[in-house]
Amino acid sequence: MLLVYTSLVYIGCAAGRPQGSHAPGDGHIPRETLRTREVIDENNLENAYDYVIAGGGLAGLVLAARLSESNTVLVLEAGLSGDDVADRINTPSGAYYSSIVGTDYDWKYVTVPQPNLNNRVISWPRGKILGGSSAMNAMYLVRPAEEELNAWQQLITSDDADAATNWGWAQMYAAMKKSENFTEPRADVAQVGNIQWDASTHGSGGPMSVSYPGIMMAIVGNWTSSLNTIGVPPLPNPNGGKTFGGFVTPSSINPTNWTRSYSRSAYIDSLPPRPSNLHILPQATVTRLLFLSDASADGWIANQVEFAQDSSSTRRTVKVRREVILAGGPIGSPAILMHSGFGPRDTLENAGIQMIEELPGVGQHLQDHLAAGVVWQSNIETAGDIHASHSDFAQSPEFLSFINDAIAYVNMTNLMGADGASTFKQQVQSARENSSSTIPPPSSDSSISEGYKAIYDVLTNTLFDQVSYAELVMALTSPGTVTIQVALQHPFSQGRLYVNSTDPFGPVVIDPQYYSHFAGIKLIRQLGAALGPALGQEMSPGPNITSDQDIETCGMLPRAQGGAVDSKLRVYGADGWIANQVEFAQDSSSTRRTVKVRREVILAGGPMGSPAILMHSGFGPRDVLENAGIQMIEELPGVGQHLQDHLTAGVVWQSNNETAGDIHASHSDFAQSPEFLSFINDAIAYVNMTNLMGADGASTFKQQVQSARENSSSTIPPPSSDSSISEGYKAIYDVLTNTLFDQVSYAELVMALTSPGTVTIQVALQHPFSQGRLYVNSTDPFGPVVIDPQYYSHFADIITMRQGIKLIRQLGAALGPALGQEMSPGPNITSDQDIETCGMLPRAQGGAVDSKLRVYGAANVRVADSSVFPFIVAAHLASPTYGLAEQAAVLIQQEPFTVPNSARTNIRPLTEVVSLVVGLLTAVLVFT
């Protein structure tokens, strides 16, 4: 059942004029491909569309622009257009000072109580608006490492030859560049920030503006040199395939007017008036997918999409001619799948959802970048101080463009030292070998365990020594303080999300299992020390946070590994079932309508929306669909599985210098200038395990993680009754531990200057071992999705985060007199970068999609958002999600599917059939 998606409908593709109503200046799609957009209401809805996209977020709008070049496309978006809050969205520093988080434009998800965080409930803000979370995120554009994307390919190629040509570094690198239009920093900004870049690694003709803020805080210029004193080298080219090191990150800023560039402004607003073939319908929540009663040889065929405005609205349907594409994100997409009858058997049974296809991987492998930080009193003026001054400068566009862009990615050696990293690796590997039954979360399906093992092995063997395991970020946006945050990039803890009723408007159960695996803070304090006199007293170690970069709830993995889509983004099982209509509604109280599909339905609801649509449409884990009362069309355990996020934390110092936050607080003319308002926190570094733990420590840690994989293999995945989920977890685990551990960055560091009086450096784990899931728990597509990221459920994430915080403090010391007292390390927080609840893994490993993004068991349903990522990467997820959407559009157009003209009826839950029969009998009796 498709999630709650009210969609604006545009006929056509993106344009070549400056960005439209929100932020002019983007838009670089060739004019000959342009079509006009048309935002419609239900009265203007066509009966059928070639493609119906569930979710008007980052991926969904990219797909809408590309696919509508030669097809009719309907986008169903649950949220509003965002026109009423355009100023808050467009201003980069609005992410700190006037955020739409917590408003009606936010889904306001929360997790279940996390036992490893003293049973705290963690907020998961996600954009409920046209543009999705790209309208409210921190705007960083940092790509994954080459080794990470090649490890994705390794995970899904075992039984899917197409994966080799779709999802490696070469393909994704080209796709990510395709989305970009890069502008070099202004000379004065580059000099003050000591910014290095390589324009050849960026795109120059894409719709998305990529650049740097209009101002730069002086302490950012000391960022890379301070990192170098603690063993983290400068990274001149952070987007060319290597992420280990420190840098000032480029961001999605339009330098012509210092505004946010995001999926709506870049891909949709730039469309000129032309004949329509793209429709976007806002306030239309996808409640489920409807499938023809007889599966084809390729799987169940979705022919309608059901939607409503809210839970009290009449549900409507729209027909699908080709495919349904779920783009609801790591929460929405698995929830739709489960409400549609695709998901874990036990989840569906418990929710009272009729199971169409048992797919244990849906909602599994939920991961997030676990984070913590250290806060110092600042001895310099921070961005937070400037903001608090309410000066003219604090109101300038230049100041308001400031973001915390000082970032570093560090490895296990940085975190633990050489000996410590070596020992830690041995411990993790030993846990894998000796405690195999404890790696995954509880599951009755062996595929879930296999998937956890696969992911675990990748983390401990492939990636442990190769990539960064933590991210450090320095934050300068609070008055009087500087914070350095560490975020685990490859947490071993994994959770899940699921639904627990048939109500698609009910809440999704989100359980990230934070710190559930024994595998920062030390690194942050080292960094704080390196920053020197700019930092005063340490005020707090700061809370752990999410990076809001959740992925892979409809994972692109072999079906045998709990994948939800194949390498062409086709939903497993949907190659048999043909979706010919998409049902939608404005809200739960609205009439549900359907639109026909001539070719395919494309889900682009993101890691939350897309799996939710699949589940509501009967594709998902059997238990989830049954528990939610959703009729299962195709059992697809991988839908909703492998939910991951970049776990983050930070250190906050009092700032001894003026920060962007101070300028903003001054309310000066400069604080209102476009240049200042373009400021973002863009000082970034990616560090590996050696940075985090030292060479020996990283080696030991890798052994620990690998041992845990071998000895505790059955406990890797979250609860699932399908063995494929376990297989997927194992495959991902193996990539992280074997392929990537020694090759890529495992943590990102970002320096934030946007709070008055403070500087913050944040660390974000880039490859967390913890994975969760999401699921639906009712047939109501307007009901909440159950989100369970299983934060810190893997021991390795706890150890890595602790080392990341230590590294941040070293960096703070290296930054020198700009930082005053450390104010706070804060509580554990999430980086809001959860992923992989519809994992692209083999079905035998709990995957929800194959390498073409097709939902297992469905002929014409794909998931095309970050929920399909096989495991979370050491990067901010916007760039790889743009790349995935661009690549998905190519795959979809290569193999167009056509829903057959057929007299076959749609699958209906027994309750609907009984109601229909009773109604007919009543009519007959009345007539007679």
Highest mean pLDDT among 685-699, 702-716, 905-919: 685-699
Averaged pLDDT, 91-115: 88
Give the three-state DSSP class for 839: coil
How many other C-beta atoms can be found within 10 angstroms of the C-beta atom of residue 44?
12
Burial class from Cβ neighbours inside 10 Å (0-12, 13-18, 19+) for residue 170 reads middle
- Alpha helix locations (H) across 489-540? 521-528
Per-residue pLDDT band at 22 (split at 50, 70, 90): very low
The whole-angstrom separation of Cα 392 and Cα 395 is 5
| Angle separating helix axes 695-711 and 412-434, nearest 10 degrees | 20
Averaged pLDDT, 796-810: 82
The pLDDT, as a whole number, for residue 346 is: 92
User: Residue 290 pairs with which residues in a beta bridge?
Assistant: 304
The pLDDT, as a whole number, for residue 702 is: 84
Phi/psi zone of residue 497: left (φ > 0), alpha (ψ -120 to 50 degrees), beta? beta
Report if pTM > 0.85.
Answer: no
Distances (CA, A) of 865 to 57, 58, 320: 9, 8, 20
The whole-angstrom separation of Cα 169 and Cα 883 is 11
Cα Rg, the chain, nearest whole Å? 24
**pLDDT greater than 90 at residue 129:** yes
The pLDDT, as a whole number, for residue 411 is: 84
Instruction: Kindly give the pairing relationship between strand 678-687 and strand 245-248.
Output: antiparallel
With beta carbons less than 8 A apart as the criterion, state whether 486 and 807 touch: yes
**pLDDT greater than 90 at residue 257:** yes
Distances (CA, A) of 851 to 602, 753, 847: 15, 41, 10
Closest CA to 613 of 485, 776, 825, 481: 776
With beta carbons less than 8 A apart as the criterion, state whether 470 and 489 touch: yes
Highest mean pLDDT among 115-119, 285-289, 853-857, 869-873: 285-289
- What angle is formed at CA 408 by the lines to CA 402 and CA 409, rounded to 5 degrees? 140
Per-residue pLDDT band at 64 (split at 50, 70, 90): very high
The pLDDT, as a whole number, for residue 903 is: 52
**pLDDT greater than 70 at residue 32:** no
The pLDDT tens digits for 39-60 are 888 888 999 999 999 999 999 9
Q: Tell me how far apart the terminal alpha carbons of the chain are, to the nearest angstrom.
A: 38
Domains of the chain, by residue range, sit at 7-82+265-365+555-640+842-894
With beta carbons less than 8 A apart as the criterion, state whether 662 and 382 touch: yes
Domain 7-82+265-365+555-640+842-894 classification at class level: alpha beta
Averaged pLDDT, 845-855: 88
The pLDDT, as a whole number, for residue 414 is: 79
Per-residue pLDDT band at 827 (split at 50, 70, 90): very low
The pLDDT tens digits for 202-254 are 999 999 999 999 999 999 999 999 999 988 999 988 899 988 899 999 999 99
